[in-house]
Amino acid sequence: MIIIRAIRSLLFEIGRATFTILVVPFGLLALPINPVTRSRILGWCAHLVIPWLRITCGIFHRIEGQENIPAGPCVLLVKHQSAWETFALQTIFPPQTWVLKKELLYIPVFGWGLWASKPIAIDRRAKLNALNQVVTQGKNILEEGRCVVIFPEGTRVAYGQKKKYSVGGAKLAVEASVPIIPVAHNAGRLWGKGKFLKQSGIINVAIGRPMITNEKDPRQLTLEAEQWIESKISEWVNQLENQ
């Protein structure tokens, strides 16, 4: 069983690397194009990776609350458990970019694609500067018509665990007067943090109702988003335990 999982996981990784190598040059060539179109071009990779994951590893996903996706730009506060959501979000939501650690930009090919997406690449050690950068650059991205994806825990967190949520995403949403969309999922159950082997099954994704941010306290908004996300994940854990 482990050997079969290893073979299937290897096939997936070969495909993922191939798709990245094929798509990234198009993203680099699209640099002169408007950011929304460029994001769509870079998103081709995700639209290849997610079906390939189903074929090779038997990992599917189901979405609850898809009607909550707004037509305009927003700030997505997303649970970060796996590499899965970095691809899946691009197939679910409108054109977007991410807040990420700047070290990712140095990875050959993959990092070039990230750079072409013009992300908000921060130094996580300089927290105050990072917060200002998220707000300043994030407002420009939202004005371009793209969404901003923020993992409020700051890093991938293993399935079943959590870290303190930062207020940067909520602060950006308040200052830009755009809604917050909380997103919960349990991808870490099947594709664990830093894990090569993947387990077949269904990933649950829940998209919360837009949180109106006008003149609200970012700390309170962050707390509300955190409570909603973590309660959805606890609900899924309980469902699995009772099966």
203: β partners? 61
pLDDT of residue 194: 85
Instruction: Read off the tokens for 109.
Output: 């090919």
Judge whether residue 127 has pLDDT over 80. Answer: no
58: domain CATH number is: 3.40.1130
The span from the first CA to the last CA of the chain, in angstroms, equals: 23
pLDDT of residue 166: 93
pLDDT of residue 46: 96
Domain that residue 199 falls in: 2-241
pLDDT tier, 126 (very low <50, low <70, confident <90, very high otherwise): confident
When divided into structural domains, the chain yields a total of: 1
pLDDT of residue 160: 87
Please, which residues have CB within 8 angstroms of residue 161's CB and are 6 or more apart in sequence? none
Q: Half-sphere exposure of residue 228, counting CA atoms within 13 Å on the CB side?
A: 20
Helix, strand, or coil here: 108?
Answer: coil
- pLDDT (tens digit per residue) in 84-123: 999 999 999 999 999 998 999 999 888 989 999 999 998 8
Distance between CA 183 and CA 79 in Å, rounded? 7
- pLDDT (tens digit per residue) in 64-77: 999 999 989 999 99
Going by their DSSP bridges, the two strands 75-78 and 180-185 should be labelled as: parallel
pLDDT of residue 123: 83
Q: 199 and 190 in contact (C-beta within 8 Å)? A: yes
Q: 176 and 138 in contact (C-beta within 8 Å)? A: yes
Judge whether residue 243 has pLDDT over 90. Answer: no
The pTM assigned to this predicted structure is 0.93
Strands of 120-122's sheet in order across: 59-64, 201-207, 180-185, 75-78, 147-150, 96-101, 120-122
